[in-house]
Structure 1
């Protein structure tokens, strides 16, 4: 059982409106940034103010509206964009990293990601070739021809993804953020992405969990990134180490703050294991011969038929992650699930 510690955020989430900017502890601010066109509605960015330096964690989805919200939040904290000295991103996804380039241009601050977080530019090879290989993978997963265009990457989508600039800093598990006057430690938590990180602020008894642990939603863990061999296994391992913040207030990147981290970790673990048990039941029934057919038999909140486009892609990749996990546990699944060998980038 979790305890909500941010009633204004909780009420805003229930009302489907933006929550307020809040000072959580002296020098620690929560700033919501709109996630346009997505049911999550916003990303919670966090400002950490030190001695003449400041870090901005997860600047959010890039848009003019988002930039207005972010700069207004900074102004409420008495900080101008030019005063930001580090831009820390918990993981690669655009609702976290998207505004980093704009903020870096305004502040000159370096962008920092976890040391193991891959960027598309690192394994893209020839864009046209990658698009072909991506489509072939979904075809191998049994996706009918009429759905292949909507679930696989197109050339223009891939080109946009590979335009993301390399971060200037790679954060290693256990190290402190390079910001004077704060003591915030990096905790490597792969699973949702290969290089996802959480941040532990022992002085303020806070843990920033990104998308690794959310109060209500189960984070998406999928066989999506090239070279990620067992994302679900990584996720379970990362949940086990969350005792580092067991009694701390949890600052997630979405929804609202809460206490009861280990209770929530137990819920997430059980929910995810139950999903694997559901996959096992489908395999045992003999009703599925590929990833597509397994996915169709699983329970989805609005039904499998409601899944389209990128949501359908994620559902298939999530199913594949469970099949890989079961394989690693020693179970014969009899289904092709490998994402294959990454296409090497040109030197």
Structure 2
């Protein structure tokens, strides 16, 4: 089950019956015990995989989390309770978790109230309370908080924390200069393009953040990048070029898909991805389209305007 992917580092493929359905956890060897990187979602299937990989009595020194998405933190509490290992996450990750917890605590609607941000942009109908409850389900109090550009011991190796927002505002990669290994989380994936979502107006321009983050890691001499999903990355610069090209292609399709009278993000997503009716099944396509639209708006190529309670985007001539 554990597959060695770099010196002293083993990959564990963790499956669960929902969402992405698979995540790469990493087990890093050390004289004081192993360090675990990311956990998988909370599911009995995932717990069984960890139990088989780490038999009773295995010394776990710490659990490190790259960002606060549920498929990366869902088993953090269980791993801490089972192996008596402290949980480490960035201060930004902890603040993200606290933000959604406060929103749920302050929420006064019920499960019939739909998330207004999505509705304003022509997105799918989703219960706002259910969305907040889902995010809050994996909440925990961390044992240690990390900052950007911090040296951290992972097993017998010394890694540097690198803030890489885009996929999430709190995403961090971790880089070992001595072995030229990058723990990439969901920042760069080899088999698919990472989701760059936007969940509210306050998140600004996540695709712009993502491009800046790609520039940051593109400067590092990396022999292997270990992603949060899918296969290992042996040519990081090439993969970064491919990811950028994919976004540029989709943004060109967006510009071509805007109607003469203007279109919502949901309407543009239907044109770009070729589906007939917006639904929860197309949430990822909607989120990616909206993030790219906001990037194009910041570049002066689109302009959004409020029209009958919805945001409509038009081309700027």
1:295 aligned to 2:265?
no
CA deviations 1:283-327 (Å, max 9, x no partner) are: 3x42643122111211x2xx4248642x42332222211121122
Match of 2:314 in 1: none
- Of 127, 135, 138, which residue of structure 1 is paired with 2:115? 135
Change in 2 beyond 3 A, CA 1:291/1:35: same
* Mapped partners of 1:172, 1:21: distance in 2: 29
Change in 2 beyond 3 A, CA 1:307/1:277: same
Change in 2 beyond 3 A, CA 1:307/1:289: closer
**Relative to structure 2, which stretch is displaced further, 326-335 or 52-61?**
326-335
* Mapped partners of 1:125, 1:204: distance in 2: 45
What is the Cα deviation at residue 226 of structure 1? 6.5
Match of 1:304 in 2: 275
Change in 2 beyond 3 A, CA 1:155/1:236: same
Match of 1:67 in 2: 47
* Mapped partners of 1:46, 1:269: distance in 2: 27
What is the Cα deviation at residue 132 of structure 1? 8.0
More RCO (CA 8 Å, sep 6+): 1
Change in 2 beyond 3 A, CA 1:29/1:244: farther
Q: TM-score, normalised by structure 1?
A: 0.79
1:314 aligned to 2:289?
no
Q: How does 1:259-274 map to 2 (within 5 A)?
A: 259-274=234-249
What is the Cα deviation at residue 44 of structure 1? 0.9
Q: How does 1:175-186 map to 2 (within 5 A)?
A: 175-179=150-154, 181-186=156-161
- Say which SS state the counterpart of residue 49 (structure 2) adopts: helix
Change in 2 beyond 3 A, CA 1:90/1:287: farther
1:87 aligned to 2:63?
yes
* Mapped partners of 2:122, 2:134: distance in 1: 27
1:187 aligned to 2:156?
no
- Say which SS state the counterpart of residue 115 (structure 2) adopts: helix
CA deviations 1:197-243 (Å, max 9, x no partner) are: 11112232211111111112000101125631110001100111112
The gaps in structure 2 that reach 5 residues or longer are 311-317
- Of 182, 186, 198, which residue of structure 2 is paired with 1:207? 182
Q: TM-score, normalised by structure 2?
A: 0.85
Change in 2 beyond 3 A, CA 1:73/1:98: same
The alignment covers a number of residue pairs equal to 305
What is the Cα deviation at residue 46 of structure 1? 0.4
- Say which SS state the counterpart of residue 207 (structure 2) adopts: helix
- Say which SS state the counterpart of residue 157 (structure 2) adopts: coil
Change in 2 beyond 3 A, CA 1:307/1:134: closer
Contact 2:103 2:132 in 1 (8 A): no
Contact 2:196 2:207 in 1 (8 A): yes
Coordinate RMSD, CA, aligned: 2.8
- Say which SS state the counterpart of residue 72 (structure 1) adopts: helix
1:106 aligned to 2:82?
yes
Change in 2 beyond 3 A, CA 1:253/1:180: closer
Change in 2 beyond 3 A, CA 1:142/1:31: closer
CA deviations 1:75-107 (Å, max 9, x no partner) are: 4xxx845x2122111111211111111101112
Match of 1:121 in 2: 101
